[in-house]
Structure 1
């Protein structure tokens, strides 16, 4: 659903079905301007994936989407350039956050 939304608005998107697949994309030579990920992913959670990706791209902005904000940040506070959007959220709230993170 998010992929369709962003592509209709002119953004280029890439998707992955789990954390390890997402990390493979992030470690490739494909440029990435913003990582949007759920915190709870199979195989490698979203925070682990983001932290591993930032070893190669330290300034990569990351937007975590989760229904469990307290659990997601309880032990690991968000680093600079990382933000969280808690479900449920409106399309407008998501787009506003993405635009702000991209500096658009």
Structure 2
């Protein structure tokens, strides 16, 4: 699976952080969709015509915990890799088949984590 064909859903309530992540991922050659909260992400995921190869979500969302969002998303798409972004990544309990990255992260850290997860999928 090449980066050019991989599609990532970014769920982040902080507009500036979301824009930065989206810009970085697009520069790395990924197709990126964005959601400002869990409800928007769930709506996108439930639309079966939307292709998603990876979901990257903030743990602290205003309307729902990122882990709860991941569990709901996995009900729709059981194999979807999920990457949690958190300022407290070392204390985040990550469900099986999911990974986390600590904020702030570098472009290289994000690229390497995403490519490793997509390669394993």
TM (norm. structure 2) is 0.76
- What is residue 40 of structure 2 aligned with on the other side? 21
- What is residue 80 of structure 1 aligned with on the other side? 96
Give the length in aligned residue pairs: 100
Say whether 1:4 aligns with 2:20: no
SS of residue paired to 1:4: helix
Alignment of 1:22-61 (within 5 A): 22-29=41-48, 30-61=50-81
Cα offsets for 1:62-104 (capped at 9, x unmatched): 000001235532xxxx223200111122110111000000008
SS of residue paired to 1:88: coil
Q: Distance in 1 between matches of 2:66 and 2:44?
A: 14
- What is residue 6 of structure 2 aligned with on the other side? none
Q: Distance in 1 between matches of 2:78 and 2:39?
A: 19
Could you list the runs of 5+ residues in structure 2 that have no partner in the other structure? Answer: 1-19
C-alpha RMSD over aligned residues: 1.5
Could you list the runs of 5+ residues in structure 1 that have no partner in the other structure? Answer: none
Cα offsets for 1:28-51 (capped at 9, x unmatched): 110110000100011112111110
